[in-house]
Amino acid sequence: MSLQTVPVVRDTLAIDFGACPPGCSECVKACEQHRSVARIATLHLPEVSFHGAITCLQCSEPACRDACPTGAISRDDAGVARLDRGRCVGCGACAIACEWGGISFDFGTIRAAKCDTCDGDPACARACPTDVLRWVESRRLFERFSHPDPFTKGASLCPGCAGELGFRLAFRVIGDDAVVFVGPGCACALANGLGAEATTRLPSAMALMTNIPSLMTGVARRLRQTGKRTRCVAFVGDGATADVGFQPLSGAAERGEPIVYICYDNEGYMNTGVQRSGTTSHGARTMTSPAGPRLKGKGQPAKEVPLMMAFNGAAYVATANIAYPEDFEAKLRRALDVEDGLSYLHLYSPCYVGWESPMDSVLQISRRAVETRMFPMWEADHGKFRITHPVDQARPIEEFTSLIGRFRHLGHDDLKMLAEEAQARYRRIEALCQAMPFNGR
Amino acid sequence: MQFRSRFEGPWAEPDSLYSVRSGDWRQMRPVTQETRCCRCGLCYLYCPAGCITDRVTHFEADMTFCKGCGLCAYVCPAAAIGMRDEEQYR
């Protein structure tokens, strides 16, 4: 028996290379204030539209350490390459050896200066107005996602699938004591097996698009009768949630069935070849909402299914995003704790195939959707609303739509309309938070 | 039809599950530079195929299953993972 064990990891400063807002140098100012000499630099090259932050990447075998003639640089147990200023002679060999420009120089004392991550609380990451610099607490992240992955490694889903990623992340939190339900769609390739063979160690069931919550109701009630605390968890696409299967979901929420329903929202019927669904964005091009000389993609704004669920008797409703795993984990744990009604999680999962985006772009799209207020992150716990990731200053909508091919036909006015809709959506959630505020559990 | 699954319950080994050799789909191969990996484990967590393995000094994708999507290279904060053309390795 060789279940995967949780690896030993280190916390790290994550940099989204080349994604800084033009002209921003908040991290440099913060570092200067904190450590007198800045150990981070920003590079602004408007002619090639590159704006990025540069600092030490804490390599496992640092070239600066090997190049130092006095042995002033060493790597500690936390994985931070530290500089002993007492032994540094200011020769600059480390700065030449580092091909990332990660070494700074203190011209006052003629010594090298390098990032020591402020011992796990970097001032630069705190000062960063965007999500370009983030302190990633990997150790805590791995404690949160500690269960072994219950799914097969080789599953018939597209490379770089956000839904597959969300599915695995969800069950690293939920663990083995669950029954998983899927509908006809992409997720069944991971949960339902192929032919007579299983692709997951979990008990799983595939219902029809129109009866997933109904089947879950039956199984959950039977499990409760037998005294088991095994949770019924659905991982279902937006088509079966927002359109085809909304009626039984609405019914289950109204009856207060204690089931956990996760909708992975890829904004379309992606498994059948990119057809428009209720949650498809306004203006998006799909096979059934084409764009051409007369038509401009989908003519209607997206259905707000999480809001519909919040006013439909669901005990716990939250929106989540694969680019914010800590937030997703916290909401999932709350959803599992709630037993007096239905828990509904709306997981943003861009489908790069249907959205005509590059293969490795799903995380970038997910993060931009939050930063541009296209996808507000909030939760409603028994009717009390809270925004879990406030976005004070929305980034321009072009930063989101430029990543996505199915918005390519939209002109300036269309994008403006899309941005205004996004702002209105965010303000609506803000108004709900004010009217029905969340004051702790 | 006989039920052929080697799957028996939550205690079954993950290796005994049905899998496709999805590594055959790969066009770009993620290559980890061992000296640069800072062992943050983000690639391990973010791999949609769940195929990153722990090699103690560094993390590396399992080439039997890696589909070459490039998300590991995108999330790597140390720029330790580079995507190379798969042709070089055939």
Query: Does residue A426 surpass a pLDDT of 50?
Result: yes
Q: How far is Cα A275 from Cα A145, in angstroms, rounded to an integer?
A: 33
Residue contact A360–B78, C-beta within 8 A: no
Closest-CA distance of chain A to residue B29, Å: 12
What is the distance between the alpha carbons of residues A166 and A355, in angstroms, rounded to a whole number? 18
**CA-based nearest distance B50→chain A, Å:** 6
Nearest CA in chain A to B9: A201
Work out the mean pLDDT of chain B and round it to a whole number: 83
- Name the more confident of A1 and A145: A145
Q: Do B17 and A164 touch (CB under 8 A)?
A: no
What integer pLDDT is reported at residue A366 of this predicted model?
96
Residue of A8, A136, A176 lying closest to B10 (CB–CB): A176
Predicted confidence (pLDDT) at residue A434 exceeds the cutoff of 90: yes
When scoring A58, A100, A153, A228 by the number of chain B Cβ atoms within 10 A, the one with the most, hence best to mutate, is A153
pTM confidence score: 0.88
Confidence of residue A4 (pLDDT cuts 50, 70, 90): low
Q: Which of A3-17, A179-193, A194-208, A417-431 bottoms out in mean pLDDT, i.e. has the lowest? A: A3-17
Q: For A186-213, b where at least 16 C-beta lie within 10 A, e where not — what string?
A: bbbbbbbbeeebbbbbbbbbbbebebbb
pLDDT tens, residue by residue, A170-229: 999 999 899 999 999 999 989 987 777 788 888 899 999 999 999 999 999 999 999 999
Cα A6 to Cα A143, A145, A149, B53, distances in angstroms: 8, 9, 10, 11
CB contact under 8 A, B18 and A193: yes
Mutate to test the interface with B, among A55, A60, A403 (most CBs of B within 10 A): A60
**In the predicted model, is pLDDT for residue A429 greater than 50?**
yes
Q: Which of A9-18, A121-130, A264-273, A334-343 has the lowest mean pLDDT?
A: A9-18
pLDDT tens digits along A302-335: 999 999 999 999 999 999 999 999 999 999 999 9
Write a three-state SS string for A226-266.
Answer: CCCCCEEEEEEEHHHHHHCCHHHHHHHHHHCCCCEEEEEEC
Residue B6 has pLDDT above 90, yes or no: no
Please tell me the distance from the alpha carbon of residue A211 to that of residue A413, in angstroms, as a whole number: 41
pLDDT of residue B9: 47
Mean pLDDT score across all residues of chain A: 92
* pLDDT (mean) for B27-45: 91
Q: Is the pLDDT of residue B69 over 90?
A: yes
> Of A233, A232, A237, which is closest to residue A264 (Cα–Cα)?
A237
Please give the average per-residue pLDDT across A135-146, as a whole number: 90
Q: What is the pLDDT of residues A226-239, one digit of tens each?
A: 999 999 999 999 99
* b/e sequence A226-244, b meaning 16+ C-beta within 10 Å: eeeeebbbbbbbbbbbbbb
pLDDT of residue A5: 62
pLDDT at residue A1 greater than cutoff 50? no
Q: Where residue B15 falls among pLDDT bands split at 50, 70, 90?
A: low
pLDDT in the model for residue A330: 96
Residue A224: φ, ψ to 5°:
-65, -40
Note the helical H segments in chain B.
42-46, 71-75
**Contact B41/A141, CB-based, under 8 Å?**
yes
**Residue whose pair of structure tokens reads 């003639």 in the numeric block:** A69
Kindly list the residues from chain B whose CB atom is less than 8 angstroms away from the CB atom of residue A189.
Answer: none
Residue contact A15–B12, C-beta within 8 A: no
Q: Average the pLDDT over A36-51 and give the result.
A: 90
Delineate the domains of chain B, giving CATH numbers in brackets. Answer: 30-89 (3.30.70.20)
Q: A376-412 pLDDT, tens per residue?
A: 999 999 999 999 999 999 999 999 999 999 999 999 9
Asked whether residue B4 carries a pLDDT value surpassing 60, the answer given is: no
Q: In whole angstroms, what is the distance from residue A255 CA to residue A249 CA?
A: 10
Which residues from A are below 8 Å from B18, CB to CB?
Answer: 152, 193-195, 197-199
Token pair recorded at residue A22: 């033009």
Complex-level ipTM beyond the 0.85 threshold = yes
Q: Looking at beta carbons, which residues of chain B come within 8 Å of A176?
A: 10
pLDDT of residue B13: 54
With vertex at residue A19, the alpha carbon angle to CA A76 and CA A397, rounded to the nearest 5 degrees, is 145
